[in-house]
Every structure is written in structure tokens, then in C-alpha cells.
Chains A and B, each alone.
Chain A
Amino acid sequence: MTTPIEIHFRKDLLDTPDLFVMVVEFRGEMDESNIDDAATQVYKIIDESPQGASFIFDFEALGYMNSKSIGYLSDWFSKVVEKGGILSITGAKENINDTLTTVGLDNFIKMYHSVDDAKLALLPLGDAGGQI
């Protein structure tokens, strides 16, 4: 038995057809009961993405993250960067923002209020506005 968590992903085109971003939505809570299985799904999405793919992790519907899920987040970031992409977070609730700031992840993962703001920042001459 595990705490409910759903992970959905889609490929969104940006300004031009050759520019896209993978948007990964997290719905529910990530805790010790479900994080290992959830992580397997995310690793698969990252591994199967094209070289250079950037990711937006949409946390708007995510209610909780425990410390182990933050450890995975740090590793997902590393893998995306290794493949030449950028990882950003959008819509994080105050409690999650607070935890990510406490462990210092906000120093290297860009955080935005919305998916649209994060997409704007990925454009070639993207405005960095909307960043938390």
C-alpha cells in the first residue's frame, strides 16, 4: 500500500518545431511509501528523452516531498544536465519551496511560478522573468 502519486509527461513544442520541452507533472505526494517506484518512472522518462532535452517538473499538484525524493530530484537534475538539457521546477507550493531552499537545491535548479514562465526562459532570447 502506498500514498497516491501520479506522474504524467508530455512533449510541448516551444517557439519552433525543433524546440521542445518535456513537461513532467507530479500529482499527489512523494514519500517513503512510493518514491522508489515513482523515481523509476522519472528515470525512464529522462533516459528515453533525446539528447539535449530540457525538462519542466510541474509541482503544482504536488502536496509533499520527503528528503529521499529530494535526493532523487538532485540526481534527476544531474542526469538532465549530463544529457545537455536544463531542468526547472514550476508551481511548487510554499512547503515544498521551503524544503528545497533549506537543502540548497534552489541554488542550482531554477524555479518558476508557472510552466509558461519556465518555457519563456528556455527560448533562445528568453526573458528570465517569472523566476521565483
Chain B
Amino acid sequence: MHITPSLLYQDTQEIKRISVTIPCSFYFQSGVRDFTLDIVRNLTSLPDQWAFRFQTIVDELCNNAIEHGSKGEGELCLTLYVLPTQWLEVVVEDMGYAKGVKAQRLTEIVEEKKRLADAQVQGLRGRGLGRIVAKWTDELSFHDRPTGGMMVKARKYIPS
């Protein structure tokens, strides 16, 4: 098992970008959550509630990428964009080793989950994207990558 650390801190004028490439294994998610918590706390003015919420948002997006986009193979790329006092955005990209659903279908599934009442969401799955990530972000979008796989973007505008 190899970890390919690729930590890029790029301060281009105002937007701060931090990108990490990690193996597609659930084992590394604990470290990714800790990393996310620290980044949100240190680079934004968001209160701790939102730092923890982004911990969950990143975890859910990465879990989906690992389970549906990679089947445990290869790597995924997590990028956090911060425009201080304006917005925070998470982008997760998988390389498409698994034949997962396409972006259009995933968009439809999430919209269906959002419309359900809490009591209607049965079963073990189905809460991550549609009930948690969608509620806690202002923009959530799915995009098919030209070279395969999917890119998911989740953005939260920081209240002034």
C-alpha cells in the first residue's frame, strides 16, 4: 500500500487551493476527516459546527467515490477551495475504475432523496448525499470526467 502525498498549496490572488491525492481505501478516511477539520478551522471564519459539517461532507463524497467510482482501486483527488469570507468548496474526483452511475442519473437520485420526508428514507443507505450533503451545502453538482470517472463539487457560501 503506497500513499502518494501530493499536497499543493497555491495562493492565487484570493482563492486558496489545497489538493490531496489519496488511495481509494476507506482506511484513510479518518486522516482525511482530521485534515478537513483543520483546514476549515484555519482557513475560514466558519464556526466549529461547519468545520465538523465539512468533515462529514468530505467523508460522504469520498466514500461515494471509493465505493461507486473506484471499487477500491486507484486514487481519488480531494481539493478544497477557499475564498476567505466568501465561500468554501470541496471537489472530489474519482478515476472511474468502476462503472458507476453517470452524473445525470446521480443528480436525479439526489433530487429524489431531497424531496423525501425524513421518515421515508428507509434502509441503510441513501442519507449521505441527498439528506446530509445536499442540506449542508448551497451548491452540489455532479460532472462526468472526460477521461472517465466523476467530479463532485459541493460549495458553501460563508455568511457575512
Contact = CB atoms under 8 A, between A and B. Distances in A.
A102 B136 contact: yes
B30 A29 contact: yes
Q: By CB atoms of chain A within 10 A, which of B49, B56, B125, B131 has the most?
A: B56
Contact of A2 (B27, B55, B60, B126): B27
Given A71-B124, A75-B124, A32 B29 contact: yes
B118 A107 contact: yes
Contacts, number: 81
A31 B30 contact: yes
Given A31-B30, A95-B52, A103 B124 contact: no
Interface string B111-153: 0000000110111111110011001100000000000000000
B73 interface: no
B123 to A, nearest CB: 6
Interface in A1-51: 1-3, 29, 31-33
Given A72-B124, A102-B132, A107-B118, A1 B53 contact: no
Interface residues of B, number: 31
A31 B126 CA distance: 15
Interface string A99-128: 100111101000000000000000000000
Interface of A is mostly: helix
- Chain A interface bracket (under 10, 10 to 19, 20 to 34, 35 or more): 20 to 34
Contacts of A2: 26-27
A72 B127 CA distance: 11
Interface of A: 1-3, 29, 31-33, 64, 66-68, 70-72, 74-75, 94-95, 98-99, 102-105, 107
27 contacts: A1-B25, A3-B26, A31-B30, A32-B26, A32-B59, A33-B27, A33-B29, A66-B59, A66-B60, A66-B63, A67-B125, A68-B63, A68-B125, A68-B128, A70-B127, A71-B124, A71-B125, A71-B126, A71-B127, A74-B122, A75-B124, A98-B49, A98-B52, A98-B53, A103-B118, A103-B131, A107-B119
